[in-house]
Amino acid sequence: MQKACFGAGCFWHVELEFSKIKGVTKTLVGYMGGKLKDPSYEAVCTDRTGHAEVVYLEYDENLVSYEKLLDVFWKIHDPTTLNRQGPDFGTQYRSAIFCYTDEQKEQALKSKNKLNKKAVTEIVPAQTFYKAEDYHQQYLKKRGMYTC
């Protein structure tokens, strides 16, 4: 299994979209990219911890490529809005790709450069992933919802 981590706004919607992909074996929502150890949702929402709401996923590279995951990432959010997705704003909603390998970074940069838009997506090394509270996990799926 390989792992990947993406920030694309509210993690509920992002998790739902990635969970639909054949080959994605696990999704968790949480926080990455900040300075506070073990942040809570309430702390991240203050926009002072530096964390992004992210989806960590594990995938079978024999069934889905990292390139395919990147394609989905670009399609499910607007990578041209700085620290904002729809009505949600703040650095926790930023567009970000957290790379676990140099190859992921290379592929992410290549895919970003292919866009015709001016993406503000940050592409950075993965840091510690902090799992969000249990009530956030599979939030939309548990409620029979298909979007935020």
Any idea which residues carry the catalytic annotation? Answer: 10
Cβ contacts of 112 within 8 Å, gap of 6 or more: 79, 119, 121, 123
CB burial readout 78-92, b (16+ within 10 A) else e: ebebeebbeeeeebb
Q: Report how far residue 69's alpha carbon sits from residue 76's, in angstroms, rounded to the nearest whole number.
A: 11
Q: Percentage helix, strand, coil, to 5, in the chain?
A: 30, 25, 45
Q: Cα torsion at 95, 114, 19, 48 (round to 10°)?
A: -10
Q: Which DSSP helix (H) or strand (E) runs through 140? A: helix 139-142
